[in-house]
Structure 1
């Protein structure tokens, strides 16, 4: 098609874009696709997960500013555009019973009102494809679940000028496909785990699989396998850019890239909504759109 293809990836926090679908985005950027990351919150309540940076007073006192700079670096590495929706991180509640969410946070916003910010961005960027999280948020962080909720409303109503008037939200636009990120799936994890053991190597996935078994987590429906192994190195560089969240010597990076490319060279998605005809399984998020 003569029109440039456009992909929007909706994420809850800075760093989510680099751990979920980053190689896919880098692949499409290389192919000339216009890619925009919509980041719902600033990650203000995120913990410092890199043990080398824990106790750094400056980072602790300026976490919002630090995470914005990390996002800038990751964006440059991936070659994507990025916009902040401006909501405040809800934090991950812990304890029994769970404490209430902080007043004013993203997860406590009215869903239709919060979706308006995403509708406005969709109408400005005019994506053909949107990616987001499933109804469980990928994992049950309140901001991930809220990201799913506003993404569904925005996809369904981006062209609804009665619900979201053009005078306030811009000219109507309807994306054609909506996907859930499913990169952390059982099939991929088991394949890598078994291949590592067969090769006589340690696997970081044993605990994952045991925990999923105890929690009764079952495989989602994987519909789309995007070949992007050549971009795994860019994915990892973007993830390392989020230094407060990622230990470069941690489990994320224990498996050699060539091993990953050989065993599982794709990133996976679940097609949630499509307004175009397509045949499953797919190997392209734009299947059914390119020739339409």
Structure 2
């Protein structure tokens, strides 16, 4: 039976900065990989001063980001679905002690009641019937309202999709056996990069040490390390597809791939819920899953 993986993200480009090598690796191996973008990223600012279609970005950023997403999808070899919600933006002051200074825009993703916004995701889950779902933790990875809402809608839809009494018009109930959180940016990975770069006297060592300082003592919560050494270049190509959001020389995303292959050729995730037998650490999302079990709940 086909292995089916569902990855849920807030905006187009998140799927490339948070797991593109993993999605590409599984797609290459024959798994069906479906990326969901909850919003269109309409309120994203241009992050690349050298962006060539600058006029289009200023006139129609939503349209440009759809084009960029299609390019990234093609690079990774995955399927893609839009949920169609409006980007909430990042209000000034979000994440500070004072809270959000600016109100969220009316009808944005973060303000749509969960019982409404989750319905199309329930439909995707029941149609796809994935064995694995990947999403963000309760913090969203960082305090953007859409990232936090992506966590909330993912977990809400995961539970609702398994309940035959909820959204019965959206298909037969399906419980996803394994759920993971993204843990790709973790201190253990950065520390190994610094270790290898120090030993080789790598010219970018100072930049990596600066990033290590930014990471601080963030705990390493990953249980699952997906081998992606052969797909790091695909990840970079997917990232560069989102040219409005990712500058081609971004130090935040583009680390030396030769060093990564030596130091930490993995992307990392945390197993949050599992209905199957297995042990961690693991190196495969589908470990313990009986692919012949295709029965809806």
User: Where does residue 41 of structure 1 map in the other structure?
Assistant: 39
Q: Measure, in 2, the Cα distance between the counterparts of 1:138 and 1:62.
A: 28
Q: Measure, in 1, the Cα distance between the counterparts of 2:124 and 2:55.
A: 35
Structure 1 runs of 4+ with >6 Å offset: none
Q: Measure, in 2, the Cα distance between the counterparts of 1:148 and 1:86.
A: 16
4-13 vs 86-95, which deviates more?
Answer: 86-95
User: Where does residue 87 of structure 1 map in the other structure?
Assistant: 85
Given that 2:3 and 2:291 are in contact with CA atoms closer than 8 Å, whether structure 1 keeps it comes out as: no
User: Where does residue 119 of structure 2 map in the other structure?
Assistant: 116
Give secondary structure in 2 for the equivalent of 1:205.
helix
Give secondary structure in 2 for the equivalent of 1:270.
strand
User: Where does residue 182 of structure 1 map in the other structure?
Assistant: 183
Given that 1:48 and 1:54 are in contact with CA atoms closer than 8 Å, whether structure 2 keeps it comes out as: no
- 2:163 aligned with 1:160, yes or no? yes
Please, which of 128, 140, 144 is the counterpart of residue 141 of structure 1?
144
User: Where does residue 218 of structure 1 map in the other structure?
Assistant: 218
| CA deviation after TM superposition for structure 1 residue 87, in Å | 0.5
User: Where does residue 285 of structure 2 map in the other structure?
Assistant: 285
258-267 vs 200-209, which deviates more?
Answer: 200-209
The correspondence of residues 212-291 of structure 1 with structure 2, limited to 5 A, is: 212-213=215-216, 218-252=218-252, 255-290=255-290
Given that 2:2 and 2:291 are in contact with CA atoms closer than 8 Å, whether structure 1 keeps it comes out as: no
User: Where does residue 198 of structure 2 map in the other structure?
Assistant: 197
Q: Measure, in 2, the Cα distance between the counterparts of 1:69 and 1:54.
A: 14
User: Where does residue 172 of structure 2 map in the other structure?
Assistant: 171
User: Where does residue 295 of structure 2 map in the other structure?
Assistant: none
Give secondary structure in 1 for the equivalent of 2:218.
coil
| CA deviation after TM superposition for structure 1 residue 117, in Å | 1.6
Please, which of 151, 154, 176 is the counterpart of residue 154 of structure 2?
151
| CA deviation after TM superposition for structure 1 residue 291, in Å | 6.1
Q: Measure, in 1, the Cα distance between the counterparts of 2:115 and 2:285.
A: 27
User: Where does residue 4 of structure 2 map in the other structure?
Assistant: 6
Q: What RMSD, in angstroms, separates the aligned Cα atoms of the two structures? A: 1.8
| CA deviation after TM superposition for structure 1 residue 126, in Å | 1.0
Q: Measure, in 2, the Cα distance between the counterparts of 1:54 and 1:258.
A: 29
Give secondary structure in 1 for the equivalent of 2:118.
helix
Given that 2:236 and 2:254 are in contact with CA atoms closer than 8 Å, whether structure 1 keeps it comes out as: no
Name structure 2 gaps, 5 residues minimum. Answer: 293-297
Name structure 1 gaps, 5 residues minimum. Answer: none
Q: Measure, in 2, the Cα distance between the counterparts of 1:74 and 1:109.
A: 28
| CA deviation after TM superposition for structure 1 residue 112, in Å | 2.4
Change (3 A) 1:59 1:79: same
Q: Measure, in 2, the Cα distance between the counterparts of 1:38 and 1:112.
A: 18
The correspondence of residues 66-77 of structure 1 with structure 2, limited to 5 A, is: 66-77=64-75
Change (3 A) 1:192 1:163: same
How many residues align? The count is 285
